[in-house]
Structure 1
Amino acid sequence: MAVIVTVEIPGGTRKQYEDTTRLLEATEWFPPAGFIAHAAGPDGSGGWRIVDFWDSEDAFLAFVEKAKPIFDQGGLPTILPTVQEAVNVMLK
């Protein structure tokens, strides 16, 4: 079952996001297994929001395990994402 993962990063910046994304994309395992789609942008209240679509919550958790050192390197705080079932995922 596909899932929607929403991550809110209070105080997160575009620079942190872009730096972290560059590091992730440089790994030999990117894109990670189970990854479907990703979007990110300012949350409207001074932070950053990320919305991902994954094949399953287990695939997302496996990604987090691999990516944690990169998140730490980027200075991102530990954040609890919201995970919910996706009834449908459409890509253009």
Structure 2
Amino acid sequence: MPVLAYHHGPDWTQELYQATIDRAMPDPNNLPRGLIAHYAAPLEGGGWQVVDVWESAEDHDRFLRERVIPVAQELGAPAFQSQVTELYNSLVA
């Protein structure tokens, strides 16, 4: 079942996000297994947010556990909040 993953952190910046994604996903032409879409943007009032669509919660959790969290820890990044929910509908132009 596809899932929508929402991650946000008030202490994250564009530069920290970019450093993390560059290391966690170094080749944008070779996306992690199960990733359907990835979006990132600043939060109003400061911070950073990421919205992903994954083929399954397992694919998402594996990528977060094996790639994102270790890289974020190496960079000394602050914690971020995550929410994952089953995707009901998707419309893409």
Q: TM-score range by the shorter chain?
A: 0.7 to 0.9
Write out aligned runs for 1:1-92 (5 A). Answer: 1-26=1-26, 31-67=31-67, 68-92=69-93
Equivalent position amino acid for 2:52 in 1: D
TM-score (ref. length: structure 2): 0.84
Whole-angstrom CA distance in 1 between matches of 2:45 and 2:7: 14
Aligned identity (percent) is 30
Show structure 1 runs of 5+ residues with no match: none
Whole-angstrom CA distance in 2 between matches of 1:26 and 1:35: 14
TM-score (ref. length: structure 1): 0.85
RMSD: 1.7
Whole-angstrom CA distance in 2 between matches of 1:82 and 1:12: 17
SS at match of 2:12: coil
Show structure 2 runs of 5+ residues with no match: none
